[in-house]
């Protein structure tokens, strides 16, 4: 069955899960090997090194944000044009968007390496000499591979639109497995410390980032492949606008992580930063099902929106709400019951960081009840080419509500107020999502 036939077929929850499963698998595995990275650093280097990774996270999140913006925003445009049978135009846009992503990545690399010392100081690593040295080492290596990170993440989206989600999963498995094996060798066997962790992560990025462009350059097995690009700035603009919600989500992660780190240093010191790092790792481990499902079915939504198949849109939305609701309850229960067990993988039970992280997770995990629906709703409007609404939801959810909560709650509740900020933001956002869905129901006819 061609990728177009799979996107226009009548979908049930089972078929949607089958279509999204490879993308979910990619997201889950990326989260697992990212967490394994943290486990090796926390266990075999020290907690300060783990904090250094989190200190650099805002820059990593910026790079990741750009890749998601171009990947999801461009993906919606390309899938919609394929639904309209404009294949040549879709291929030209695809080639142009990928080229722009690579150029932007090179700019980030150059700027970051030139200004690396003041950048690391700005991120908050200057308060501790060991923390500063660790962050400098990690940042230098990760900045070098930042163009390839953008390419890698963009192609995870494009493989789905090309009807090859399983291939994306296989490539990610290879890159992630290499990362895990090299973590063991470089950190545990060769005692290379945080430098070894950074090199292992870099190699895990290089492998899939190399394969993606090679596949679309030489294959003609799908209707999507590299061709001569048209320099169309409106396509780039629309891709950026359409994917702006995904970019806002990750840019906000940069700002919010910075705010969390600053507050934790103020209240609890380096142990507090390490605890935040662990909680964020657990969030990355437990939420990729939402992200993978939403990203996986986005081409189906875009394709059927382009072909004006209203019945299919209604069916997809109904099935998705059921799926997200069930998984949200399951993930909340898992994190609440087994959270301490998961945290023990990262740090010793006798450490102060462990106690801080366990207490924080008891509050933080309530955000999982609402997070899945909010992520799906934002991705839904992206797939419908309404980047403004999607960006509005993401801006409130990941930045405005969180920063206001971080500004107010710690003054009232102390450290507990820091942990409560994200659950409160997710709860307020789900109200906004419902209002947006109701407001646009007669525009897109999804219910």
CA distance 54 to 60: 9
Lowest mean pLDDT: which of 87-91, 130-134, 189-193, 321-325?
A: 87-91
Q: Give the other-Cβ count within 10 Å of 192's Cβ.
A: 17
- 157 contacts 12 by C-beta, under 8 angstroms: no
CA distance 196 to 184: 9
**For residues 178 and 164, which has the higher predicted lDDT (pLDDT)?**
178
The structure tokens listed for 432 are 């906004």
Alpha helices in 9-46 (DSSP H): 13-44
Q: Is the pLDDT of residue 7 over 70?
A: no
The structure tokens listed for 314 are 């209604």
Q: For 207, phi and psi rounded to 5 degrees?
A: -60, -55
pLDDT, tens digit (0-9, with 9 covering 90-100), for 397-429: 989 999 999 999 999 999 999 999 999 999 999
Domain positions in the chain are 3-444
pLDDT tier at 10, thresholds 50, 70, 90: low
pLDDT, tens digit (0-9, with 9 covering 90-100), for 214-256: 988 887 777 888 888 888 888 889 888 877 766 777 778 788 9
- 373 contacts 317 by C-beta, under 8 angstroms: no
Average pLDDT, the chain: 88
Lowest mean pLDDT: which of 108-112, 350-354, 419-423?
A: 350-354
Asked whether the CA dihedral 155, 156, 160, 163 is positive or negative, the reply is positive
Average pLDDT over residues 294-310: 82
Average pLDDT over residues 176-198: 94
pTM, to two decimals: 0.75
CA distance 445 to 2: 26
């Amino acid at each position: 069955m061609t990728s177009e036939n799979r996107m226009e077929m009548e979908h049930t929850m089972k078929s949607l899960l089958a279509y999204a499963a490879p993308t979910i698998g990619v997201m889950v595995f990326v989260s697992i090997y990212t967490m394994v990275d943290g486990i090796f650093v926390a266990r075999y280097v020290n907690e300060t090194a783990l904090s250094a990774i989190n200190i650099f996270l805002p820059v990593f999140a910026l790079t990741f944000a750009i890749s998601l913006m171009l990947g999801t925003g461009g993906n919606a445009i390309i899938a919609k044009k394929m639904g309209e049978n404009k294949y040549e135009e879709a291929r030209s846009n695809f080639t142009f968007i990928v080229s722009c992503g690579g150029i932007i990545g090179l700019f980030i690399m150059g700027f970051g390496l030139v200004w690396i010392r003041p950048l690391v100081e700005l991120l908050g690593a200057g308060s501790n000499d060991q923390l500063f040295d660790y962050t400098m080492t990690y940042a230098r290596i990760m900045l070098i591979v930042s163009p390839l990170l953008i390419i890698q993440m963009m192609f995870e989206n494009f493989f789905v639109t090309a009807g090859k989600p399983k291939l994306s999963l296989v490539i990610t498995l290879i890159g992630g497995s290499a990362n895990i094996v090299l973590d063991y060798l470089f950190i545990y066997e060769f005692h290379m410390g945080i430098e070894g962790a950074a090199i292992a992560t870099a190699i895990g990025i290089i492998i899939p980032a190399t394969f993606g462009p090679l596949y679309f350059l030489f294959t003609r097995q799908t209707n999507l492949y590299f061709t001569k690009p048209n320099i169309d700035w409106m396509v780039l603009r629309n891709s950026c606008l359409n994917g702006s919600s995904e970019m806002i989500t990750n840019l906000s992660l940069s700002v919010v992580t910075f705010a969390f780190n600053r507050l934790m240093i103020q209240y609890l010191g380096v142990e507090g930063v390490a605890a935040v790092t662990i909680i964020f790792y657990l969030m990355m481990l437990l939420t990729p099902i939402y992200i993978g499902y939403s990203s996986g079915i986005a081409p189906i939504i875009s394709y059927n929106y382009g072909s004006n198949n209203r019945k299919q849109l209604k069916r997809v939305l109904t099935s998705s709400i059921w799926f997200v609701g069930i998984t949200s309850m399951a993930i909340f229960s898992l994190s609440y019951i087994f959270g301490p067990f998961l945290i023990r993988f990262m740090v010793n039970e006798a450490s102060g960081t462990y106690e801080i992280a366990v207490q924080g997770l008891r509050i933080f995990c309530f955000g999982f009840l609402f997070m899945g629906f909010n992520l799906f709703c934002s991705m839904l409007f992206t797939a419908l080419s309404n980047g403004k609404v999607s960006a509005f939801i993401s801006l409130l959810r990941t930045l405005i509500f969180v920063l206001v909560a971080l500004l107010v709650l710690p003054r009232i509740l102390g450290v507990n107020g820091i942990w409560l900020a994200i659950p409160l933001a997710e709860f307020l956002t789900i109200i906004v999502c419902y209002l947006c869905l109701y407001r646009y129901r007669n525009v897109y006819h999804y219910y």
